[in-house]
Amino acid sequence: MIRFDNVSKRYDNGFEALSRINFAVEPGEMLFLTGHSGAGKSTLMKLIMQMERPSHGQIMVDGHDLNRMSSSQIPYYRRNIGVVFQNHQLLFDRSVFDNVALPLQIAGLSHHEIGKRVRAALDKVSLLEKERLNPIVLSGGEQQRVGIARAVVNKPTMLLADEPTGNLDPELSEEIMTLFRQFNEVGVTIMIASHDVELLKRMNKRILGLVEGKLVHDGVLW
Ligand code: ADP
Ligand code: ADP
């Protein structure tokens, strides 16, 4: 599903955020990406999302060679990747429903189709009854679930989450992880960046460990 071959990323200021990274992720895997702040986790995810280009090496995602993808193909490519952020980036000038509907409106789906898919996504995160509310009145955990509903509403084959539990207490983190597991069980490939060691221990999944831009670990627990 994802393959990095000797991938390096040097930013315009000359800083090398990732150095010669190699790994492969099978379809349907759920794995974690860890490392201290500044280790390169976000950069790695941005490369997968085509928000940044590698300076060296090859990235294959779902059969696409990202170096060969034209900029006009990128929006279509991104529809297959759901993204969840720590600060969930919800819009507080519209309802929960409209937040989740946004990617579908951009994709140009019909009203009817949007309604069906948004309610299906909100149902999966148990927020169907809150669709009319402004997300500002929701709790942190509920807001994160709205972010997850928005990430999956396009039925992506892959979900990338950057510190999705960073602001949540352990109980709510667990709830969010349960949701990710449920999506994983129906075949979605999931990569989660987290530096929460307790969470990593509990999950007992494959972990890619980054230190200063180098991949120093690939396997379960350290
Ligand atoms: P985090 O550690 O939470 O992943 P950072 O604080 O490293 O995030 O980065 C926040 C944002 O600022 C990111 O989008 C990153 O690309 C950008 N950024 C970080 N460091 C620099 C820098 N030295 N120059 C320009 N942009 C940067
Ligand atoms: P993490 O997500 O693990 O905190 P990042 O990928 O955000 O790490 O950042 C890795 C390193 O790259 C950091 O030192 C950060 O300051 C630097 N960096 C991130 N984005 C940029 C950018 N746009 N320009 C220059 N340096 C950056």
Low pLDDT (below 50) residues in the chain: none
Give the domain ranges of the chain. Answer: 1-72+189-222
Beta bridge partners of 84: 161
Residue type for position 89: Q
Give the residue whose CA is nearest to atom 12 of ligand 1. 42
Ligand 1: which atom is nearest the Cα of residue 46?
16
Give the residue whose CA is nearest to atom 7 of ligand 2. 42
Distance from the Cα of residue 40 to its chain's centroid: 15
Residue 107 pLDDT: 86
Tens-digit pLDDT profile for residues 40-65: 999 999 999 999 999 999 999 999 99
Inter-axis angle of helices 96-107 and 111-124, to 10 degrees? 130
pTM over cut 0.90: no
- Predicted ipTM of the assembly: 0.73
Ligand 2: which atom is nearest the Cα of residue 43?
6
Instruction: At 118, list the tokens.
Output: 């948004």
* Run of H or E residues at 38: none
Strand locations in 76-211 (E): 81-85, 158-162, 189-193, 206-211
Query: Domain spanning 1-72+189-222: which CATH class is it, in words?
Result: alpha beta
Strand locations in the chain (E): 2-10, 16-25, 30-34, 56-61, 64-65, 81-85, 158-162, 189-193, 206-211, 214-220
Residue 88 pLDDT: 67
- If one residue of 41, 42, 210 were mutated to test the ligand 1 pocket, choosing by the most ligand atoms within 8 A of its CB, it would be 42
Beta bridge partners of 217: 209
Residue 222 pLDDT: 63
Contact (CB, 8 A) for 147 and 178: no
Q: 200 CA to middle of ligand 2, Å?
A: 22
Tens-digit pLDDT profile for residues 184-199: 999 999 999 999 988 9
Whether ligand 2 lies within 6 angstroms of the CB of 170 is answered as: no
Ligand at minimal distance from the CA of 209 is 2
Which residues, including other chains, have CB under 8 Å from residue 30's CB and lie 6 or more apart? 180, 181, 184, 189, 190, 191, 192, 205, 206
